[in-house]
């Protein structure tokens, strides 16, 4: 049975088309209005308000809290101090990605893990020998994300904590609208933004206080379509598109390592042991990565040309897509080499951008190949070029 988040009393009245989808068993707004571009533009030009309550949240406390999470995730947590946060992934023994999420260092001997999938069992399985307690607070702690260039100014109106001093991926306990809250300078849009976690009983109060300032800061409530569009521009992977959790498949062909996912930079192979480290050391040493995750741009003039074959005007996707799309080395589509995993026409960049998975020999900047585009049930080959990712990385995100 699909459940409702503590914000549902507010989000349901704002959802004009009553468009919802399942997010980890909760009803989540697909979009609030009738055009997702309105919400996308709010994030890029003003501020978007997201209900992110369905994230799983776990409190890890005790003298071994940091050591336990270090054993679990691929990031090096040695620099971690209270007030720091880290985006990370974690792997199985074969070095294949299980899930991604965030680690927040709340206080001495107290860290929090957020994840897409339920992770309590995984934490408990890895906790043997560590002096810790683990608590699932997914029900008690709910969240909103304020994302976009006006997000800091809006949130500053709701708290006495000086947000100008809060650095990217740092966090702080604060009061927001008079309620005890946890603020993190983070998000999934690749823009200036904050995530605010509060007690479930304070959810409506926090939402209302933000909405009261909406017109002053060009803020709109935003759904999962706008979130997906902005995370693609930011080059951020999502489960069931860029990767399938190794816990959720029996087939090796569907698994992927951090190196193959483009996250090798976060793997500290010469540091403390973590689950999957030995397999990743071998993969790096032997050069056995089968894939690279890259950003590509499509040549839209070819799409326009092929639409003209049907006497039709150019039509570009109005929102993002996340189904696998074949990529070929040749225009004749005889040599399948990879797949597009997520893509969109970027209204801000005025480019058709795609996150893609290709063999390493095709991953260099400037490499060219072809991606399939189906028009009127006919498959065409569209030239694509590997470009730097993230596609969108504004200085304000870290400023």
The helix (H) or strand (E) run that includes residue 27 is strand 26-31
Alpha-carbon distance 326 to 379, whole Å? 10
Alpha-carbon distance 345 to 25, whole Å? 30
| Residue ranges in the chain modelled with pLDDT below 50 | none
Alpha-carbon distance 76 to 78, whole Å? 6
Q: Is 251 exposed, middle or buried (0-12, 13-18, 19+ CB in 10 A)?
A: exposed
Alpha-carbon distance 53 to 51, whole Å? 6
Alpha-carbon distance 303 to 373, whole Å? 8
Q: Is 109 exposed, middle or buried (0-12, 13-18, 19+ CB in 10 A)?
A: middle
In which residue are the tokens 């909406």 written? 214
Q: Cα 251 vs. chain centroid, distance in angstroms?
A: 24
Contact 119, 239 (CB under 8 A): no
Q: Nearest CA to 373 among 340, 337, 335?
A: 340
Alpha-carbon distance 259 to 284, whole Å? 8
Alpha-carbon distance 40 to 294, whole Å? 23
For 206-330, list the strands marked E by DSSP.
219-221, 292-298, 325-328
User: If DSSP codes are grouped into helix, strand and coil, which group holds residue 251?
Assistant: coil
Length of the chain, please?
399
Alpha-carbon distance 388 to 399, whole Å? 21
Structural domains of the chain, with CATH:
8-54+139-222 (3.30.1360.120), 57-136 (3.30.70.1400), 292-395 (2.40.30.110)
pLDDT at 96: 98
Q: What is the pTM of this model?
A: 0.97
């Amino acid at each position: 049975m699909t459940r409702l988040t503590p914000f549902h009393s507010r989000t349901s009245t704002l959802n004009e088309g009553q468009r919802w989808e399942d997010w980890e068993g909760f009803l989540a707004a697909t979009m609030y209005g009738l055009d997702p571009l309105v919400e996308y533009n709010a994030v890029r030009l003003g501020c978007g308000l997201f209900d992110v309550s369905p994230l799983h949240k776990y409190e890890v406390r005790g003298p071994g809290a940091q050591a336990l999470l270090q054993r679990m995730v691929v990031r090096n947590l040695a620099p971690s101090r209270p007030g720091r946060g880290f985006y990370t992934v974690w792997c199985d023994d074969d070095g294949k990605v299980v899930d991604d999420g965030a680690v927040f260092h709340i206080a001495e001997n107290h860290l929090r893990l957020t994840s897409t999938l339920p992770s309590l069992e995984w934490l408990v399985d890895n906790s043997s020998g560590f002096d810790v307690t683990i608590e699932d607070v997914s029900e008690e702690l709910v969240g909103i994300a304020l994302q976009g260039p006006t997000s800091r100014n809006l949130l500053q109106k709701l708290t006495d904590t000086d947000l100008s001093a809060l650095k990217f991926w740092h966090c702080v306990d604060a009061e927001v609208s008079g309620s005890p809250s946890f603020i993190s300078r983070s998000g999934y849009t690749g823009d200036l933004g904050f995530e605010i976690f509060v007690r479930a009983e304070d959810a409506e109060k926090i939402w209302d206080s933000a909405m009261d300032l909406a017109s002053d800061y060009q803020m709109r409530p935003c759904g999962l379509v706008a979130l997906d569009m902005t995370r693609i521009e930011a080059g951020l992977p999502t489960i069931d598109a860029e990767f399938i959790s190794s816990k959720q498949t029996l087939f090796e062909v569907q698994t992927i390592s951090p190196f193959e996912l483009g996250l090798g930079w976060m793997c500290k192979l010469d540091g403390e042991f973590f689950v999957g480290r030995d397999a990743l050391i071998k993969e790096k040493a032997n050069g056995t990565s089968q894939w690279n995750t890259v950003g590509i741009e499509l040549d839209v003039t070819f799409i326009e040309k092929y639409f003209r074959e049907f006497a039709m005007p150019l039509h570009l996707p109005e929102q993002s897509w996340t189904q696998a799309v074949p990529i070929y080395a040749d225009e004749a589509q005889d040599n399948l080499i990879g797949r597009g995993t997520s893509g969109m026409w970027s209204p801000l960049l005025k480019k058709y951008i795609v996150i893609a998975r290709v063999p390493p020999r095709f991953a260099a900047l400037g490499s060219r190949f072809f991606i399939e585009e189906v028009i009127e049930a006919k498959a065409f080959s569209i030239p694509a070029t590997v470009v730097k990712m993230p596609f969108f990385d504004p200085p304000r995100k870290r400023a």
